[in-house]
Amino acid sequence: MKILVCISKTPDTTAKIAFTDNNTKFADAGVQWIINPYDEWYALVRAIELKEADASTSIHLATVGGADAEPIIRKALALGGDEAIRINVDPSDSYQVAAQIAEVAKQGNYDLVLTGKETIDFNNGSVGGMLAEFLDMPYVAQATSLQLAGTTATVKREIEGGEETVEVALPLVVSCQKGMAEARIPNMRGIMAARTKPLKVVEASGNETLTNVAEFGLPPAKAGVKLVSPDNVDELIRLLHEEARVI
Q: Tell me the residue range of the domain where 36 lies.
A: 2-220
Q: What pLDDT is recorded for position 207?
A: 66
Per-residue pLDDT band at 27 (split at 50, 70, 90):
confident
Mean pLDDT of 74-102: 94
Does the residue 139 lie in any domain? yes
- The number of folded domains in the chain is 1
In-domain check, residue 242: no
Does any domain span residue 229?
A: no
* 240 assigned to some structural domain: no
**pLDDT at residue 223 is higher than 80:** no
Write the Ramachandran bin of 61: left for phi over 0, alpha for psi from -120 to 50, otherwise beta: beta
Give CB contacts under 8 A, 24+ apart, made by 69-73: 69/9, 69/33, 70/199, 71/33, 72/7, 72/9, 72/33, 72/34, 72/35, 73/7, 73/199
Side-chain-side CA neighbours of residue 210 (13 Å): 7
**Does residue 239 belong to any structural domain of this protein?**
no
Of 15-19, 67-71, 144-148, 178-182, the poorest mean pLDDT is in: 15-19
Q: In this structure, is residue 235 part of a structural domain?
A: no
Average pLDDT over residues 140-162: 95
Output the domain CATH number for residue 112: 3.40.50.620
Residue 193: pLDDT over 90: no
Query: 75 versus 247: which is more confidently predicted?
Result: 75
**Residue 59: inside a domain:** yes
Q: What is the pTM of this model?
A: 0.86
In a domain, 55, yes or no: yes
As a whole number of angstroms, the distance between CA 51 and CA 57 comes to 5
The reported pLDDT for the residue numbered 212 is 84
Residue 82 vs residues 51, 61, 146, 153, 198: alpha-carbon distances, Å? 10, 8, 21, 22, 8
Lowest mean pLDDT among 69-73, 150-154, 190-194: 190-194
The residue-averaged pLDDT of 92-109 equals 94
